Amino acid sequence: MGRQEDELVAFLRLWTSKEAVGKALGLGLGEAGLRREMPLGGGAVESVPGLVVTHVPWPGAVLTVAAPTSRVEVSRRSPTLDPSCARG
């Protein structure tokens, strides 16, 4: 990866971390969500005790999950071209 691509991935990890935490809290990016500090490599969110963020490797995408520390289980499944939720 080149420097610009590394910087873009770092920015997207930070942004998706903020989005994931905001969604986990039910606040979105409101309530100072943009100013909330995030662990850049994933891990515990200091400003929200009991919440962790995890970066999930996915080809061509930046994916971050926020979940309570009590039990975190992330499963990676490949998306399909015809997911059942899209067939309405």
pLDDT of the chain, 88 residues: tens digit per residue? 688 889 999 999 999 999 999 999 998 888 788 899 999 889 999 999 999 999 998 888 999 999 998 765 656 665 555 555 544 4
Residue 18: what pLDDT?
A: 95
Query: Look-up: residue for tokens 């992330």?
Result: 74
| Close Cβ partners of 53 (under 8 Å, ≥ 6 residues apart) | 17, 20, 21, 38, 39, 42, 43, 45, 64, 65, 66
For residue 18, which of 4, 2, 44, 37 has the smallest C-alpha distance? 37
User: Which pTM does this prediction carry?
Assistant: 0.74
What mean pLDDT is reported for the chain? 83
For residue 53, which of 64, 73, 29 has the smallest C-alpha distance? 64
* 50 Rama class: left (phi>0) / alpha (psi -120 to 50) / beta: left
- Structural domain boundaries in the chain: 3-74
Q: What are the pLDDT digits (tens) for 24-39?
A: 999 888 878 889 999 9
Percent share of the chain, pLDDT over 90: 51
